[in-house]
Structure 1
Amino acid sequence: MRLIFLGPPGAGKGTQATRLVEKHGIPQLSTGDMLRAAVAAQTPVGLKAKAIMDAGGLVSDDVVVGIVADRIEEPDARKGFILDGFPRTLAQAEALDRLLDEKGLKLDVVLELDVDQSALVDRIVKRAEDSKAAGQPVRKDDDPEVFKQRLEAYNRDTAAVAPYYRERGLLKKIDGMKSIDEVTAEISQALTA
């Protein structure tokens, strides 16, 4: 199974992807996590991406596509994968199609978590508070001001990706405002339909 999660930051893509990883035994390929790992390792790509990510911006398509291309070659991704946070732009979606086509692969489904964006800031503030309470570091992109910039970038750049996949018959909308378990159930139903 090869699938993409779409939805604005804070919609629950990571939470739901984790559940699918457990259920189906395929890796979650979060470009954010891959980029954060590159930043932590201070790789050339990581150093290049750090300033952009800290400001809430998006790294260049060539860097992200290169990271994804390398990652889907790993043995654990051969049975399938979940892309979380990619593609973020129409150009990335087109590049992903070319990349998969070159590898003889195809997407099975694109799940879009549909959420009330006005509720997302509250969700992010709570996520930051929960991280602090658990003694974990708070992600820089969970700062409300940085988050608002990320949401603006999503609305400007990523909103065009859903229609691209809808036209290809791959898009399924999921009500991301339901409880976590209800969203999981709706996703399971969408994957078997």
Structure 2
Amino acid sequence: MSGRSAARGPSAAAADGFEVLFVCTGNLHRSPVAERLLAAALPRGGFRVRSAGTAARPMPLDPLTATILDELGGDAEGFAALRLDAGQIEQADLVLGLERCHREAAVRLHPLALRRCFTLREFIRLAKGTRADTPHEAVRLAASRRGTLIPPADETDGIDDPVGASAKVHRARALEVHDAVRTLAGILAP
């Protein structure tokens, strides 16, 4: 996929699809689950879904996460963690952090992407109820609603990291991501 310019709009996106980038810390749990579940939920051909981590090191997917992902209908095959960089953010049409610190890290790396960077739950909250005909329009409408709705407490806008927690907590976090991704898919491809 070619790099995006600051002025890129829906007509340019039609040529190469709509790209979603999920961001978490290690790119081993939350963002890979979101990436693979959204890829499975969206129509083929019109979307590209990727993920990265703000502190990721090249590693395979966590085995427990891979098992949970398979149970939820995602494909864990071939996944390797990637570190977030400005180029990934520049290419993405929508950047979704799993917590506010991830959204903020993306904006620091590429400030021009501010209007395309949200937390996963923030984007859903802002885009829900809008009447967008395209994913680009959903992003534009969600960005335009910032500041018009009272933001929730920080803990309700993010999905906590399950690192170091029990298998039960890993599953609970993956289910939170799963539920949010199902709603997101309905917004991006109604």
TM over 0.5: no
| TM-score range relative to shorter protein | 0.3 to 0.5
TM normalised by structure 1 equals 0.33
TM-score (norm 2): 0.33
Structure with greater Cα Rg: 1
More helix by share: 1
Higher relative contact order structure (alpha carbons within 8 Å, sequence separation ≥ 6): 1
